[in-house]
Structure 1
Amino acid sequence: MTHGLPMTVRDPELPARVRIYEVGARDGLQNEKTAVPTGVKAEFIHRLAAAGLATIEATSFVHPKWVPQLADAEALFPQLGDLAGSTRLPVLVPNERGLDRALALGARDVAVFASATESFARANLNRTVDEALAMFEPVVTRAKAAGARVRGYLSMCFGDPWEGPVPAAQVVAVSRRLTDMGCDELSLGDTIGVATPGQVTALLGDLTGAGIATDRIGVHFHDTYGQALSNTLAALRHGVTTVDASAGGLGGCPYAKSATGNLATEDLVWMLHGLGIDTGVDLARLTATSVWMAEQLGRPSPSRTVRALSHQE
């Protein structure tokens, strides 16, 4: 192993390149107890882009009452204008009002946030699964008409804190409805981090069997039980090439109390580079960014890779 780099052994059965969908600036910071200053968020996103991340979820256009940490979306998004040509900057839109706000600022990538379970739909959206999907349909239709790409987040794909294990058929049914309404991409969320690799492989097989192409699927794992990387590897073996991750392991979910941090981007990059998979990411610059952000937040990064590399001479 070279200083700060993993030993590389290429596995020909895995994808040659993986697209990292960076969620730290939105999913990570929305869980902070106190709001991070807008200028710090803008610098964080610029540093992530400079480290080679080409897709960075910037913010959320939800009502400030629900996620006060992201109430500055209108102030933040214009500060990222210089990145527009080189970096995709998706934003979360919960409804048509949120979409209007995002489109008015020139957003070209939007995401809606659905649930595979009734309990979480009620807790997160105050609606049934059907009611939430009905709310999203005009959002997706209008976003597509405006030329925007649309991602559909699907929470609780593997386990739910109220309902327990989630039947794959339930996940497939909601996934099908999201793709049928026009979502370009799905992100399968292990919101409370209970999935294991066999479960991941089985669900991906069921989705493929239902006609949902693997190139439209991303995975979003939480590391509650230390399974996020092994679950990611299972998804890669199935052909998935989009993986959500959060710089420094920031974040969780404010509406799922047992959810711990997201998969740390640095931990993911270390594994992918060790497998000879191209990400376009400069691990040293990314690590430095997470160290900087941890300083802004006043606590160390939970990422093992950040800790290991930042303590090296």
Structure 2
Amino acid sequence: MVREPDIHICEVAARDGLQNLDVFVPTEAKCALIDAIAAAGVREIDAGSFVPPKVVPQFADVDVVMAHALSHQDKRIGALVPNFKGAERAIAAGVNSIYFVISASETHNRANVRRTVDEQVEAFRAVRAAIDARPAAERPQLMGAISTSFGCSLEGDISEAAVCNLARRFAEAGADEIGLADTVGYATPTLVRQIVSAVRCEVGPDVTLRLHLHDTLGAGLANAVAGLEAGIRRFDAAVSGLGGCPFAPGARGNIVTEDLVFMLERMGLSTGIDLDRLMQTREILARHIAAKHLTGHLHEAGIPKVLRRAA
């Protein structure tokens, strides 16, 4: 029997990692990236977003990429959706998870999905109803993702009350999981502990929480540790630190999956991920993406031999 890892990591490079690039990554490269991530032992992959190509051209091939990703039947394959139409496409594609995004920042929500927060909550309820109308075996998990949970480049500070209110509404509407996203990387360890604790109190102990962290100001891994201290055991991350939001000025990459895995394993926490194989994803990315977009301390320094022996 395979032991469950202590920490669950969802790899988001194929979606969040690519959405902000100014170059189209070929379909075959996206599929090769997903294959390499799966081969490294990652159990959940955010493989794309069902959005209009005119809004995010990078996902013009999402149907083909998603079909390929779903060939990895032992993995949980998910997709981000901004609205009910996107969710319909994701359900039809057969995804295992749907990540429905609403911003705690009203301004960012309008910029991101062209709707008010209230309108977006109603759309989420409609998605929940559409999923529940399907046979039980065909229902994808539905996560409510709260963007700008720790700050917004358009509004600045976001109140704890705004995040908790949206978390409560997600929970009441039937979210299987709630994700707290540091969309622009403004979080600090203190703020992470504060918001996670407040949301946990708001929604109760039975709702699963995860963190989606960016490293805009260099605090990404410190914030991950703060999340661990607050009880989080599920994290999003992107190989080579890819990522950013087209509708959040100044947003930079996600926390680096390779660095996160190394840190967690050195802390004695299992991830179930083969770090050496994960490091090989850099070769695929480097063929199509400028070096300035690829980050990661392990890629710069390597893994010291003495630490490999200690592991």
Both structures adopt the same fold (TM-score exceeding 0.5): yes
Q: What's the CA shift for 1:51? A: 0.5
How many residues align structurally? 297
Counterpart of 1:128 in structure 2: which amino acid? Answer: T
In the alignment, what sits opposite 2:308?
A: none
Q: Which runs of 4+ in 1 moved over 4 A?
A: none
Q: What's the CA shift for 1:80? A: 2.5
Matched, 1:109 2:97: yes
Report 1:203-242 matches (<5 A).
203-213=195-205, 216-242=208-234
In the alignment, what sits opposite 1:93?
A: 81
Q: Deviations over 1:56-85 (max 9, x none)?
A: 00111111111110111112122234202x
Q: What's the CA shift for 1:238? A: 1.3
| Unaligned residue ranges in structure 1 (runs of 5+) | 1-14
In the alignment, what sits opposite 1:32?
A: 21
Q: What's the CA shift for 1:181? A: 0.9
Counterpart of 1:173 in structure 2: which amino acid? Answer: N
In the alignment, what sits opposite 2:50?
A: 61
Q: What's the CA shift for 1:18? A: 0.4
* Aligned partner of residue 9 in structure 2, secondary structure: strand
2:122 aligned residue (122, 130, 134): 134
RMSD: 1.9
In the alignment, what sits opposite 1:303?
A: 296
Q: What's the CA shift for 1:311? A: 11
Q: What's the CA shift for 1:265? A: 0.3
| Unaligned residue ranges in structure 2 (runs of 5+) | 306-311
In the alignment, what sits opposite 1:189?
A: 181
Alignment TM-score, normalising by the size of structure 1:
0.90
127-136 or 246-255, which deviates more: 127-136
**Which whole-Å CA distance do the structure 1 matches of 2:157 and 2:169 have between them?**
21
**Which whole-Å CA distance do the structure 1 matches of 2:242 and 2:303 have between them?**
17
Alignment TM-score, normalising by the size of structure 2:
0.91
In the alignment, what sits opposite 1:119?
A: 107
Q: What's the CA shift for 1:282? A: 0.6
* Aligned partner of residue 271 in structure 1, secondary structure: helix
CA contact (8 A) 1:159 1:195 kept: yes
**Which whole-Å CA distance do the structure 1 matches of 2:5 and 2:36 have between them?**
25
302-311 or 43-52, which deviates more: 302-311
197-206 or 300-309, which deviates more: 300-309
CA contact (8 A) 1:59 1:92 kept: yes
